[in-house]
Amino acid sequence: MTLNEQLKTIIIEELNLEDVTVEEIEDDAPLFGEGLELDSLDAVELVVQVQKHFGVEIKDIEEGRMAFESINALRHFIEERMTP
């Protein structure tokens, strides 16, 4: 499973997205504002899940803005911080 697929699975399972499959989530689509219809409290949950699964902390609003742009952006954000 690629990191993108892993992220999509986490989003679907941990945020309880009904009627959404991994294939339906586009890599470049925005996570918030349109498409997945995630709201501000989902952002809180996503911050927690990213830390829980990858040990990566989204420290402030600027990092959040960057990481939550899309699945690709989130993957990039995590990879950058996981690299030793």
Partner 1 sequence: MQQTDKQETDKKQHQWTGRNLGTRFGHNIFYALIHLGGKRLGYFALHWVVLYYVLCRPSVRRRSYPYLHHRFPKQRLLTRYVTCYRMFLEMGRVLVDRAILGIMGADKMKFTIHGRQELLELVEKNHGFILLMSHVGCWQVAVSALNFLKVPVNLLLEQEEDNIDRHYVNYADATSLIQIIDPGSYLGGTLLMLDVLKKGEVVCMMGDRVFGSEKSCLLVDFLGENVPFPFSAFKIASATGAPIVVFFSYKTGYDSYTLKVAKIIHVPRNLGRSGESFRPYVTQFVDELELYTREYPYQFFNFYNMWQ
Number of residues that bind partner 1 (CB under 8 A): 25
Nearer of residues 44 and 82 to partner 1, judged by Cβ: 44
Give the nearest distance from C-beta 64 to partner 1 in angstroms: 4
56: closest CA among 28, 75, 39? 75
Give the nearest distance from C-beta 79 to partner 1 in angstroms: 21
As a whole number of angstroms, the distance between CA 70 and CA 27 comes to: 6
Give the nearest distance from C-beta 42 to partner 1 in angstroms: 7
3-state secondary structure at position 32: strand
Q: What φ, ψ does residue 61 adopt, rounded to 5°?
A: -65, -35
Question: With binding defined as CB under 8 A, does residue 47 bind partner 1?
Answer: yes
